[in-house]
C-alpha cells in the first residue's frame, strides 16, 4: 500500500462525503466523477487484481481528497481564525505525503544495498530455497493465486498449462503458441531443471482453511506453499519450514512453506 493508510482512509471518506453531497444537491457532474473509482473498484473487487490495476483511479481519488481538504479548511476558517485552516491544510498534506515518501526512500536504500533485485523479492527468494531444499517431483499444493507464488514448474505440460499466464486472453486457441509452449516445457525438463507435481487451490477458502491439512494428507501432498499465514492451525504450524515475509523482503507477496507430516512418502 504505497500511498499509505492516511490516503486510503481520506479517499474512502471523500467518496462517501461527496456521494451524499452530490445526491443532496443533484450535482450530476460530481456523481459522474465519483462513479468512476466506485465502478472501477467493483470491477476488480472479487476478481484477480494486482495493485497496479488500480492506478487509473488514483488521480480521481487525489482530486476528491484535495476537494475534501479544501471544504474542511473553508469550514474551519468560517468557524475559527483563518490561520488555523492553513495549519490544517499543511498538516493534512504532510500526513498524506509522509508515508509514501518514507516508503520510497526506505525501498531505495534497501535496493542500493543489494546488487540483485531478486534478493529483496519474497517469491524469488522462496523459489531459490525450494530448489535447494525440496526434492524434485515432490507433490506440492499451491494455495493462493499462482502468479503471486514462486514460479514452480509441473513435470506434466498439460498440468503446467493451467498455471501462470501462458494461455490468458484466449492464447490457447493459437496452435503455434501451444506448440511453442510444449517445446519450451520439454526443453526445460531435458535440461534437468527442477520440476514438481503441482496442485493449485486458487481461491481463498475462508472458513474452511482448517480443512486444508486433512486435504493434503488425503491426497498425499508433501509440501504446502501459500501467500497466507496458516500457522494458527496446529498441524500446519508444526510443519512450518520457512517464511518469506514483508519484514525481510520489500517486494512480492509473502510466502509460507509448510511440510505435511501426516502421511508416509
Average pLDDT value for the chain: 86
Q: Does residue 60 contact residue 36 with C-beta atoms inside 8 Å?
A: yes
C-beta neighbour count of 44 within 10 angstroms: 12
Measure the N-to-C terminal CA separation of the chain; round to a whole number of Å: 41
60 Cβ contact list (under 8 Å, min separation 6): 33, 36, 37
pLDDT in tens, 190-202: 999 999 999 998 8
pLDDT in tens, 90-130: 998 888 888 888 878 877 776 666 666 667 788 899 999 99
Higher pLDDT, 56 or 265: 56
Confidence of residue 45 (pLDDT cuts 50, 70, 90): low
Distances 121 to 42, 117, 141, 228 between C-alpha atoms, Å: 29, 7, 21, 16
pLDDT in tens, 230-241: 999 999 999 999
Residue-level pLDDT at 246 = 84
In the chain, what are the domain boundaries? Answer: 5-112, 118-152+194-259
Highest mean pLDDT among 40-49, 111-120, 181-190: 181-190
Residue-level pLDDT at 14 = 92
Residue-level pLDDT at 43 = 76
Residue-level pLDDT at 52 = 73
| % of residues, the chain, pLDDT over 90 | 35
Q: Determine the average pLDDT of the residues in 139-167.
A: 86
Residue-level pLDDT at 264 = 61
Nearest-angstrom CA–CA distance, 17 and 151? 43
Residue-level pLDDT at 142 = 93
Residue-level pLDDT at 115 = 61
Can you read off the three cell numbers belonging to residue 228?
497466507
Beta strands in the chain (DSSP E): 139-143, 197-201, 223-226, 240-244, 255-259
Residue-level pLDDT at 196 = 94
Amino acid at each position: 500500500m504505497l500511498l499509505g493508510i492516511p490516503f486510503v482512509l481520506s479517499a474512502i471518506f471523500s467518496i462517501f462525503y461527496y456521494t451524499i453531497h452530490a445526491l443532496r444537491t443533484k450535482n450530476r457532474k460530481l456523481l459522474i466523477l465519483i462513479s468512476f473509482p466506485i465502478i472501477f473498484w467493483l470491477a476488480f473487487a472479487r476478481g484477480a487484481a494486482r495493485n497496479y490495476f488500480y492506478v487509473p483511479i488514483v488521480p480521481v481519488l487525489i482530486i476528491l481528497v484535495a476537494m475534501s481538504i479544501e471544504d474542511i479548511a473553508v469550514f474551519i476558517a468560517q468557524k475559527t481564525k483563518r490561520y488555523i485552516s492553513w495549519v490544517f491544510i499543511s498538516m493534512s498534506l504532510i500526513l498524506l505525503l509522509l508515508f509514501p515518501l518514507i516508503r520510497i526512500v526506505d525501498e531505495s536504500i534497501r535496493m542500493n544495498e543489494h546488487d540483485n533485485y531478486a534478493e529483496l523479492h519474497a517469491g524469488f527468494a522462496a523459489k531459490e530455497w525450494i530448489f535447494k531444499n525440496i526434492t524434485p517431483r515432490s507433490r506440492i499444493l499451491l494455495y493462493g493465486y499462482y502468479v503471486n507464488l514462486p514460479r514452480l514448474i509441473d513435470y506434466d505440460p498439460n498440468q503446467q498449462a493451467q498455471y501462470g499466464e501462458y494461455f490468458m486472453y484466449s492464447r490457447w486457441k493459437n496452435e503455434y503458441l501451444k506448440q511453442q509452449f510444449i517445446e519450451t516445457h520439454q526443453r526445460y525438463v531435458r535440461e534437468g531443471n527442477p520440476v514438481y507435481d503441482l496442485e493449485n487451490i486458487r481461491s481463498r477458502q475462508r472458513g474452511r482453511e482448517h480443512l486444508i491439512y486433512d486435504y493434503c494428507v488425503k491426497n498425499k501432498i508433501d509440501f504446502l506453499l501459500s501467500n497466507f499465514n496458516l500457522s494458527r492451525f496446529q498441524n500446519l504450524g508444526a510443519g512450518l519450514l520457512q517464511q518469506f515475509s514483508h519484514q525481510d523482503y520489500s517486494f512480492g507477496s509473502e510466502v509460507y512453506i509448510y511440510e505435511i507430516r501426516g502421511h508416509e512418502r
